[in-house]
Amino acid sequence: GSGGFRKRKHDNFPHGQRREEKENVNPSSPLMASFKSFQLELDTRHDKYERLVKLSRDITIESKRTIFLLHRFTSAPNGEEILNESEVKLDAVRRKIKQVAQELIGEDMYQFHRAISPGLQEYIEAVSFQYFIKTRSLISVEEINKQLIFTAEDREEATNVTSDSQDKQPPTCSLKVTPVDYLLGVADLTGELMRLCISSVGNGDIDTPFELSQFLRQIYDGFTFIGNTGPYEVSKKLYTLKQSLAKVENACYALKVRGSEIPKHMLADVFSSKTELIDQEEGLP
């Protein structure tokens, strides 16, 4: 009747006949040999993907620690020590990226891009944050790629790299950052610059917020040229970028209008409370 159980076509065959067909399969046939080679290839690719995911996670963690360290630059008595320590941390991150580059030798990077993209974005955010503190400008994607060219002299034994890939490793290996990863990393950088602005105000630095406001405005103008024509991830970051710019501009406005009325030791409390109010209105955590 209607709504009853529908029998599948292979249910018409007796179970004993299907069992006999399985027993009659020749494991040494060319067809079975082909499927075994496919299985080995897929298992090898999945294992490589998982290794890259773990490396990307390590790169993300170390890059975040570098960003937290760089935020101490405004309050530290000796900023050069902070920059030197951050350079050591970034060198450790680049050693992790070198392991990624060794894993991708002879492979199409875009087949594994989803595994390594989060770590690369976080690294771009960290290295561009350090570059801005040093030079007050934005690092280019070409400069980032120059730092990710590794020679055989500084090659280290990587625990996660197979012996076969080490034997086939050329004198140099490199990893190129894609334009999309670069744009996403720069978009995340704007949030760190907003936090740098608030901490600078709290330390009595009145000039840095206005400098950051102009810099963020230039980045925002560049992203608006892309608009909705670019990748979805980039256009999604535009809203967060706009909010970071608004917070910096509000801080500059308050400094310009009421800066002389607020004592310097109270500026941090004023702007931290203003930031919390803005976040509550936007529904941000």
Binding region for Mg(2+)? 125, 192
Other CB atoms within a 10 A radius of the CB of residue 166 amount to: 13
**What length is written for the chain?**
285
Question: Binding site membership: which residues?
Answer: 125, 192
Question: Which residue, 129, 141, 143, 123, is CA-closest to 83?
Answer: 129
Rounded alpha-carbon distances, angstroms, from residue 269 to 8, 199, 204: 71, 10, 12
Burial of residue 167, with CB atoms counted within 10 A of its CB: 0-12 exposed, 13-18 middle, 19 or more buried: exposed
> How far is residue 228 from each of residues 71, 74, 223, 238, 252, measured CA to CA in Å?
32, 36, 10, 10, 29
Closest CA to 145 of 185, 172, 182: 182
Q: Which of 93, 89, 86, 30 is nearest to 57 (CA)?
A: 93
Q: What angle do CA 216, 258, 240 make, to 5 degrees?
A: 25
DSSP 54: H
